[in-house]
Chains A and B, each alone.
Chain A
Amino acid sequence: MRQYFMGKGRVLKIYKVCRLIIVHALLIYTPCSLAVEVITHTDASVSLTQVKDLRAIFSMRLRYWPDGSKIRVFVLPDNNALHKKFVKEKLHMFPHQLRRTWDRMTYTGTGQPPVTVNSNAEMLEKIQNTPNAIGYIEINEANK
């Protein structure tokens, strides 16, 4: 939160601390050429090597990075193919299970669901421009 109030140097500061960490540890090498990768924008030292942690983040149960800043979660719509792939491969869950958890918090006021973006491009743009963000993108396996 501190970063928002840093005066004129803020933009530079954010670019300096901005690291687009691509988490490889969880990648499942599938024969198809397109894969889904978790991306984050944070300077907190995190290792998202456990499915449990990713699940906790995307079901909005783990809400803060280790440095105390609030995690900003971005997802694609429930019926998006990449979203389905992400939920199955990275969280080992199904989209309808996540939706149930989000709905319960949304309509009882006990939590806020992730922000839904409408395309891969918008996802990338949001993650790049939002400190403490986490999301996922489609990458070409051949380029890795």
Chain B
Amino acid sequence: MKIFTSLMLNKFFYVLFFLTFSLCAQAVDSELNLTETSWQQGLQKVWRDDIQFHGFLSQGLFSTTGNNIYGNSKNSVSAGLTEIGLNVSYQALNNLSFAVQGLYRRAGQRTGDWGEVSLDFAFVDLNFLNFRDGRMGVRGGRVKNPWGLYNETRDVAFTHPTISLPLTYFDRSRTLFLSMDGGQFYADYNTAIGVFSFKFNYGFIQADDPELLQSIVLDPNIPGHLESKSSFITHLSYETVDRDFMFAFSYADVRLTYIEHGGFDPYAGLEGEIDALMFSGQYNGERFSFTGEYSLHWNRMRGLMQDNSPVSEMWYVQAGYRVLDNLQIMLRYDSYVQNKYDKKGESFHANTGLPAHLMFTQDIVVGVRWDITPAWMLRAEYQRVHGASAVSLLDNPNIMDLALNWNVYALQLAFRF
């Protein structure tokens, strides 16, 4: 815990340092304003144009029946989801830039009542090839993982359609795809038929996540933690010229190893490898939008008592309609089965005695989103859920009590700049 706290502080100071540094640069800039020498004005202009600050903030309210989400929401109200991000980007040279984002997140038991501060991304971007119709480059540091349509900006409320992300992005697997410490190669190409974009991330994920570990072993008392081995995630997308249609293919190979704690640890030697793919398609018209994503995860866990190598299948279809330019209604059907050869969880239940509905979730989401101004947004949604494969086991520690059919009522206010 001590190490954890100091690590968190470390990250916090890192972000603080970066922001202070940038603010100093801004302060210097305004002093320069008083002098008349033109190179100083020039310098000032360079600063002002090339450094940008952006951020976002969102607060959710949840009330549920049956199971908890983001804290104590069952038959009560939980304000357990808060997300605050602040970033600064600096275009130092035409082909060299820096970007860093700090994230504060409070999401139920997973982060505790006080939430967590983390370094969301921090990288150097070298855009080594630039031509009229495209570009190519590398980014080094901590980069966001391009997984499906929403993963890169999963914590920015404005950028995804409903309060709760589709099940394929379920929170328990958050750290699997969140970001990579390593590098990214990227290439964009504008053609007469549309824009092609390719990204390849290689490095290490932030695997030390109790939620992820528990979803693998289903044991709240497991003493050790997970560490990442070298992994990669790649993403190819195509957008039509008028940006009406978008298609993407993502592929990930994430490898984990269990670090045992103490002398006798029954889980010593546990290794995991997750290969996953995702197909994404979206139509984004003036009024209507349709989105669908299909993904498969091949989970291979070695070193557990019983074989735990299911193939998980997730997909959803979603429709949106803009009643007004700033008022949108959404409808989604979502499905997630932990093992596509045991869709109803029957053999899982027979083998373990645990509730079968830990192995699947199907839900329907109805939502309305109101963009009050370009900076403020308010939305509300209702979710009817059948199954519990995506609930947080930290918020619902009593596995035997998980409800099969339950409801979620949610409200969210968000701000960005």
Contact = CB atoms under 8 A, between A and B. Distances in A.
A56 B284 CA distance: 18
Nearest to A11: B38
A108 B94 CA distance: 19
Contacts of B121: 108-109
Interface in A95-141: 95-97, 100-101, 103-104, 106-113
A112 B91 contact: yes
Contacts of A110: 99, 125, 139, 186
Nearest to B373: A79
Contacts of B153: 103-104, 107-108
A70 interface: yes
B198 to A, nearest CB: 13
B230 interface: no
Contacts of A85: none
Contact of B144 (A11, A63, A95, A108): A108
Contacts of A56: 133, 190
Contacts of B39: 4-5, 7
A101 B243 CA distance: 10
A18 to B, nearest CB: 15
Contacts of A103: 153, 156, 158-159
A78 interface: yes
A31 interface: no
B100 A107 contact: no
Contact of A112 (B52, B144, B242, B322): B52
A93 interface: yes
Interface centre among A10, A77, A109 (most CB of B within 10 A): A109
B252 to A, nearest CB: 17
A15 interface: no
Given A4-B46, A72-B49, A107 B101 contact: yes
B185 to A, nearest CB: 13
Contacts of B2: none
A10 to B, nearest CB: 5
Contacts, number: 107
Contacts of B49: 72
Given A11-B38, A109-B123, A93 B242 contact: yes
B152 A104 contact: yes
A64 B188 contact: no
Interface centre among B46, B99, B130, B139 (most CB of A within 10 A): B99
Contact of B190 (A8, A52, A101): A52
B374 A79 contact: yes
A8 B94 contact: no
B30 interface: no
B307 interface: no
A10 B133 CA distance: 32
Contact of B85 (A61, A66, A77, A107): A107
Contact of A93 (B54, B133, B243): B243
Interface residues of A, number: 43
Interface string B289-300: 000000000000
Nearest to B191: A52
A113 B190 CA distance: 18
Nearest to B189: A61
A97 B45 CA distance: 30
B130 A107 contact: no
Contacts of A6: 38
Given A72-B49, A103-B156, A112-B91, A8 B100 contact: no
Contacts of A113: 52, 54
Contacts of A104: 152-153, 159
Contact of A107 (B87, B123, B242): B87
Given A61-B195, A104-B159, A10 B101 contact: no
Interface in B181-197: 186, 188, 190, 192, 195
Contacts of B38: 4-8, 10-11
B286 interface: yes
A122 to B, nearest CB: 15
B325 interface: yes
Nearest to B282: A100
A106 B242 contact: no
A109 B241 contact: no
8 contacts: A4-B38, A52-B190, A79-B326, A84-B325, A92-B242, A96-B284, A97-B244, A103-B158
Interface of A: 1, 3-8, 10-11, 52, 55-56, 59, 61-64, 66, 68, 70, 72, 77-79, 84, 92-97, 100-101, 103-104, 106-113
Top 5 closest pairs, chain A to chain B, by CB: A109-B99, A4-B42, A78-B374, A97-B243, A10-B38
Given A4-B45, A107-B152, 6 more contacts: A4-B38, A64-B130, A94-B285, A95-B325, A97-B243, A100-B159
Interface of B: 38-39, 41-43, 45-46, 49, 52, 54, 56, 85, 87, 89, 91, 94, 99-101, 121, 123, 125, 130, 132-133, 135, 139, 144, 152-153, 156, 158-159, 186, 188, 190, 192, 195, 241-244, 284-286, 322, 325-326, 371, 373-374
